[in-house]
Amino acid sequence: MCAELHPDAPTPLAPPLPTRYTKPRNFPMTVIQVSDIAFGYTADKLFQGVTFSLALGERAALVAPNGAGKTTLLRIVAGELAPDTGSVTPRRDTRIGFYRQSHELSLEGTVLEALLSGFQDVVALRHELGEARRKAASGTQADLDSLARLEDRYHLVQGDELERRVEVIAHKLGFGSEQMDRPVASLSGGERGRMHLGLVLAQSPDILLLDEPTNHLDLDTIDWLEKFLVGYAGAVLLVSHDRAFLDNVCPRTLELGHRTFRVYAMPYSQYTVAREEELARERDLVERQQSQIAKTEEFIRKNLAGQKTKQAQSRRKALEKLERMDRPEDVFEIASKMSFRFAPAPRTGEIVLEATGLQASRGGRPLYEGFELLVRRLERVGIVGPNGSGKTTLLKHLAGQCGPDDQGSVRRGSNLCDGFFDQELGSLNPQHNGIDEIRGVRADMNVDTTRGYLARFRFWGDQPFQTVAGLSGGERSRLALAKLLLEPRNLLFLDEPTNHLDIPAAEILEEALINFDGTVVFVSHDRRFLENVSTRVVAFHEGRLEVYQGGYRDWTRRGQAPVLEDPDDEPAQVTRSAPPPAPADSESQRTARKAQFEAAKAAARTAQRKQRRVKELEDLVAQGESKLSEMREQLRAAAGDDWESLSRLAQEEQALARKVEALMNEWTELSEELANEQATLAGVER
């Protein structure tokens, strides 16, 4: 029976310790089987023939265009919806954690209480413990004894370990220790999304279902989540439009179609190549069959009443029995029929923006000061940094939408026709439909012309008449982009333009911006989008603002980490808001580089020793968790009247759990050190 982990569902008093860093078993255990399921809200099926299984340690990506039913399929796997036909069979006692895009969480309580809400028995005991501590202030023996009993119970159910685990995950998701007591009602939509993700991850379920988990995460947090999921011992099924995330996390790709379901044992980038080759082969087979059918029909028509009547009759019978192949379904074919075409705009001057002395702060916290930037025609400047660092504030500052206390000047070039894409989609009226929104900008367009224009953005049939409030996030993004492109633009300010777009739409937008005869300044956390579009990077990094004279790929290789260069390498071109250090003479530069090179080689030898220790730790953790499982099974099966044996076994179990936790912490630290050292060595080898 599947025990799904909803926020309001009860959970065992003794939640399992996190198994994030446990090695997958050599023979992974299947935890869920999905067999030939179909589902549809109307007579037409949304999808059918869906069959796959997931085992412990497996990670699979579910891909399809928006509207194909990915979220619906996740809800069926989670047990929230019943399929029309087929079955979903989880292994007995399998626990499922489901991260939804909607983040339907209670607004009551604090952040810590919300993150612990998946462990209601532990939370209730924690409240009892708090009340007992207040009563124990009286000093009476009864109150002190009650406090001692509750503390023993809290330690027995690993309440302290659970709190530490939750706080670590919360910290990685952007919630510092000072925010644990913050009311949930005060959180923004993005913060609630991250809190919901932390709640699901903290429960360490056997199956993780993740629906667009990266939507509200910055680049550093996405990198952490990737490492977390790669080492996760349970099964993972995720939906994401972040192509780099899919490549790094999922070695298996599941393609959901209207009438087909394809499984590829490869990551997303390899899948895109393999599916095109497979579709080409299938189309060729269909065409060859159709050609053969046409020749056979022609032979029958000519010879049915002639000398070869028997042959014609025989071929007709064979043709009637022939199983005719359907043209293969290309699930992305329709999704790719979208066109981001820019209206002709006047040519700008060579200098588009010249920012000097920019300074901004929010809530008394400085974001940047003394920042300068010169943007030239045809540049595509990507702004990156952690959540809350000031990316959107800087984008608005450059666009002339600065706050009343912001300082500095932005000098604009000649002939500018600029447009701003707001990630909150504030330009859309929820009560309007698509026709209203477009005609609000271009009143000269009649209804038929407007529908034709919206068809370029994948709004067909009655969709242009739907209200904005009834559209999905991806549909709203496409509508906002459609409005933005109605008028001539030669300068675009884009704030997270791909946040709700599916992969085909994001790729089409990429291509349009690469060929755009104008200038673009944009904020994004989509690494593939940044790699393909940006020609220059402005980065909030380690408390300072940097301007890197190169694209995102170059910045991640050489601008984000300390640069250890080969003597023959060109120096990285990084401009900081602080004055750069004075250049050293060429001889001292060569000496310093050689010293750095030798130091990196020594670090590589140290890394080899650490790698051996990492492998040893993996084996020890696996052995320890196996022993823990046996001990917990003994605890569950122990006779309730033998309290002495039960207490001794519980103490041994807690001691082993602490030892396993210490081993996993050492594994984490060594692994992160190795990752940093490998990045440094990569810089040297270049």
**Residues 422-477: pLDDT tens digits?**
888 777 888 999 999 899 888 889 998 998 888 888 888 888 999 988 888 888 88
Shortest CA distance to 381 belongs to which of 501, 485, 524, 544?
A: 524
Q: Which DSSP category does 558 fall into?
A: I
446 and 395 belong to one structural domain? yes
Domain that holds residue 302: 270-321
Whole-number pLDDT of residue 254: 96
Structural domain contains residue 339: no
Which parts of 527-592 are beta strand (E)?
A: 536-541, 544-548, 574-576
Please say whether the beta carbons of 282 and 326 come within 8 A: no
pLDDT grade, residue 646 (50/70/90)?
low
Q: Which of 93-97, 538-542, 618-622 bottoms out in mean pLDDT, i.e. has the lowest?
A: 618-622
Q: Which residue has the higher pLDDT, 71 or 671?
A: 71
**Residues 6+ away with beta carbon under 8 Å from 85:** 36, 37, 38, 48
Shortest CA distance to 30 belongs to which of 94, 115, 109, 77?
A: 94
Distance CA 275, CA 262 (A): 9
Give the mean pLDDT of the chain: 80
633 and 498 belong to one structural domain? no
Tell the residue number behind the tokens 């923004």, with chain if given. 188
Structural domain contains residue 115: yes
Structurally, the chain folds into a number of domains equal to 4
Whole-number pLDDT of residue 571: 35
Q: What angle do CA 138, 139, 142 make, to 5 degrees?
A: 100
Tell the residue number behind the tokens 């993005």, with chain if given. 190
94 and 29 belong to one structural domain? yes
110 and 193 belong to one structural domain? yes
Structural domain contains residue 311: yes
Q: Which residue has the higher pLDDT, 343 or 531?
A: 531
Q: Where a domain ends, among 212, 237, 260? A: 260
375 and 424 belong to one structural domain? yes
Q: Which residue has the higher pLDDT, 11 or 167?
A: 167
Which parts of 318-441 are beta strand (E)?
A: 351-362, 365-376, 380-384, 407-412, 418-421
Q: Which of 72-86, 366-380, 423-437, 548-562 bottoms out in mean pLDDT, i.e. has the lowest?
A: 548-562
516 and 595 belong to one structural domain? no
Whole-number pLDDT of residue 576: 42
Whole-number pLDDT of residue 599: 61
Structural domain contains residue 575: no
Structural domain contains residue 472: yes
Put simply, whether the predicted model's pTM sits higher than 0.75 gets the answer no
592 and 549 belong to one structural domain? no
Structural domain contains residue 505: yes
360 and 500 belong to one structural domain? yes
pLDDT per position as a tens digit, 601-644 = 566 566 666 777 777 777 787 788 788 778 777 776 766 556 56
Coil/strand/helix, residue 519: strand
pLDDT per position as a tens digit, 284-342 = 998 998 898 898 888 888 888 777 788 888 888 888 888 888 888 888 887 777 777 88
pLDDT grade, residue 247 (50/70/90)?
very high
Structural domain contains residue 343: no
Average pLDDT over residues 535-561: 81
Q: Where a domain ends, among 524, 559, 594? A: 559
pLDDT grade, residue 676 (50/70/90)?
low
**Residues 6+ away with beta carbon under 8 Å from 127:** none
233 and 382 belong to one structural domain? no
Q: Where a domain ends, among 212, 231, 260? A: 260
**Cα–Cα distances in Å, from 317 out to 289, 320, 321?**
16, 5, 6
For residue 544, give the CATH number of its domain.
3.40.50.300
Please say whether the beta carbons of 299 and 309 come within 8 A: no
pLDDT grade, residue 104 (50/70/90)?
low
Distance CA 73, CA 79 (A): 10
Q: Report the chain's terminal Cα–Cα distance, integer Å.
A: 54
Whole-number pLDDT of residue 569: 38
Q: What angle do CA 533, 536, 542 make, to 5 degrees?
A: 115
443 and 463 belong to one structural domain? yes
281 and 185 belong to one structural domain? no
140 and 200 belong to one structural domain? yes
Structural domain contains residue 571: no
Average pLDDT over residues 254-264: 93
pLDDT at 600 over 70: no
